[in-house]
Chains A and B, each alone.
Chain A
């Protein structure tokens, strides 16, 4: 046993384990005043919606994800959880306790090989079992790109519906975390949005994570579930204990407003909520904040209605500007809402650089850049 503990400690100290350790130390997520250098770029806005009646419990996002997987494992005896280091609970603690509960044959480590994980998962799903695969960081999903894009996404189409791997879900921690540098910060959703046959979903907190993950796992199409890792412990919400699902393909109006539409997903929704509050308090501008949360398929109705109502839309995402999913939204809004637009659709995004380490505060589309975009679009 002491050996196991030593191993665990050593593990936590390693490169990939760093985040776990540091996340716990992050006081600023609780809104405490810190120096400019390490200030969080957002203040968490708890989601107090109740998707289902009944008892709730306070859960961080990683706990909500565990809860979602627990429910699916309980209901579906074919469901499997696998990936690198998931057996001991995962480097972000998302699968803690599940191996003890469901056995080593249902929750297990794989060799360290992302293309293998994705390919294996497709094979599990192709014969009707439920595969919940984890890629340790979204930054390391690219070795599996071929399996996801050429295989998972096209499995049903190319066989004329004879075969499918719809019972496949791939989870991957994504987005900025404060100090993740190039390979622990990426937001790769746009790469996958360009691939017909996949669904891509990104939650912004515990309540959404549980409902959306269950939907992804039970969905008949291969789903990519990207989890903003800064929210794993940063998000704390009252989450219904019961099972519930949130619809894939629907967006949510988080804050209603009528002058400017702000669209984001994941962590960025929290930035935009703060921007909306700042715009209201300091400049008396009414912003409508939309959490897109389902990237593919995306909710055109909600987006277009809001864009038509306000006439001014800004899309913000952490991923780089060029080829980001904001471009797809902007072009579609321009096309569908042209006569309603009072100003060009704006985009606030990461820059067209790799995601930097020490320059992260200058890289991310923070509230100040987004607020300025609001002022610019109102004064256009």
Chain B
């Protein structure tokens, strides 16, 4: 019995629907194989080994010192926009520092920094149209800042105060904003991926010229929902950009325990998805790849995978001490040799758009804005406890109203025991 025949049989028994079975049988018997372009024959017994496939290279525009490697690849971004991209990176950095410290002081309950991944946020965000819909994982705050969501709004969310759009219901860093076309973040990893595909399908039908971008990490890509999303996007032909932040770690788990293939980008081929790997610390490479991906997915109604290779410089979150599973030297090496902030700085410096003075002024101003905003956010009252009962369903129902009434009466009696304002 030939190997091929065994394969056919084993597939026959594995498949859950007869459709797949019939398709396979008929494709063998009737050579109705144009559906499946990979269907051909060989007389030599050869397994396809991942070791024989070349590693997919990272696309790079800037070298580590901020020099453009190939002049043809330098994007035409106007100076003001370039400066704004970098200023947003600086703002993100400063906010991360202040909010990280404030968590350490117990002023907010949780925080996640974006250290090391600033270029992937801003490079991608700046290449999109602000009307494009964003589904994020949680480490994409720079994208939101680019769209005009202010640091103060971030802090309102982290404090869960009265000005928080989410009315204080979610943990810090679970941002969302309708006006900024940024779907509210949720903690379950990867759930946003098939959702992004569904939204992209609806956009395609609406012919509104918008695409959807969905961000996720290398760890999230291991979830079943990632498989679902890749496969649905390809078969249903959806204009969606899958933007993977491959930063080497999922909390403590290094990528070698996460997968054994060539990262995330190599999976694109298996799903029939156009894909590219980029240097995620190179803002121009990320920008070019995202812009091209957007054009491609909108003009072809097809998905694209962009895998941005970067490094998670900070701890996973404020609940994590990453020195427990990686060395300080490793982190230091990245910070010193392959730093997206430094590289962008040098590029702008080379274009005479930026210098040390501007840097310190920008940092100072960001710090001042954020500290002022922080002070205000901290003082804004928390939403009334009755908000706990809103937005469960579109309208209130009798059981919920009864439970709210029960709590009201309870609080009348036990007001001293609760943090009422």
Contact = CB atoms under 8 A, between A and B. Distances in A.
Contacts of A338: none
B310 interface: no
Contacts of B30: 3
Given A14-B18, A157-B391, A162-B178, A120 B232 contact: yes
A116 B227 CA distance: 8
B50 interface: no
Interface string A156-192: 1111111110100000000000000000000000000
Interface in B293-350: none
Contact of A115 (B18, B170, B198, B225): B225
Interface stretch (B35-43, B108-116, B121-129, B186-194): B186-194
A113 interface: yes
Contact of A119 (B200, B205, B228, B390): B228
A300 B403 CA distance: 14
A177 B203 CA distance: 40
A290 interface: no
B61 interface: no
Interface stretch (B146-154, B159-167, B244-252, B253-261): B159-167
A111 interface: yes
Contact of B199 (A108, A112, A124): A124
B195 A78 contact: no
Contacts of A157: 169, 391-392
A74 interface: no
B203 A127 contact: yes
B195 A119 contact: yes
A122 interface: yes
A118 B228 CA distance: 10
Interface in A1-43: 3, 6-7, 10-11, 13-14, 16-17
Contact of B191 (A112, A147, A166): A147
Contacts of B16: 16, 112
B197 interface: yes
Nearest to B25: A10
Nearest to A123: B198
A110 B232 contact: yes
B291 interface: no
A154 interface: yes
A268 interface: no
B174 interface: yes
B194 A126 contact: no
A11 B201 CA distance: 28
Contacts of B165: 159-160, 162
Given A126-B183, A157-B391, A119 B199 contact: no
B17 A115 contact: no
B89 interface: no
Given A164-B394, A166-B394, A151 B186 contact: yes
Interface residues of B, number: 56
A196 interface: yes
A147 B229 CA distance: 13
A315 B201 CA distance: 43
A14 B17 contact: yes
Interface in A126-148: 126-129, 131, 143, 146-147
A161 B177 CA distance: 10
B188 A113 contact: no
Nearest to A129: B202
A150 interface: yes
A154 B186 contact: yes
A85 interface: yes
Contacts of B236: 108, 110, 120
B191 A150 contact: yes
Given A115-B194, A127-B203, A220-B394, A158 B228 contact: no
A112 B228 CA distance: 9
B185 to A, nearest CB: 9
Contact of A124 (B18, B167, B198, B395): B198
Contacts of A249: 397
A127 B201 CA distance: 10
A159 B199 contact: no
B228 A17 contact: no
Contacts of B395: 220
A110 B17 CA distance: 13
A163 B191 contact: no
Interface of B: 16-19, 21-22, 26, 30, 133, 135, 164-167, 169-170, 174, 176-178, 183-184, 186, 188, 191, 193-203, 205-206, 224-225, 227-229, 231-232, 235-236, 390-395, 397-399
14 contacts: A7-B26, A106-B205, A108-B236, A111-B228, A113-B228, A120-B197, A125-B198, A150-B188, A155-B184, A160-B164, A160-B165, A162-B165, A199-B393, A249-B397
Given A11-B19, A147-B194, 11 more contacts: A14-B18, A110-B232, A115-B224, A119-B191, A122-B194, A123-B197, A123-B200, A143-B224, A158-B170, A159-B183, A297-B398
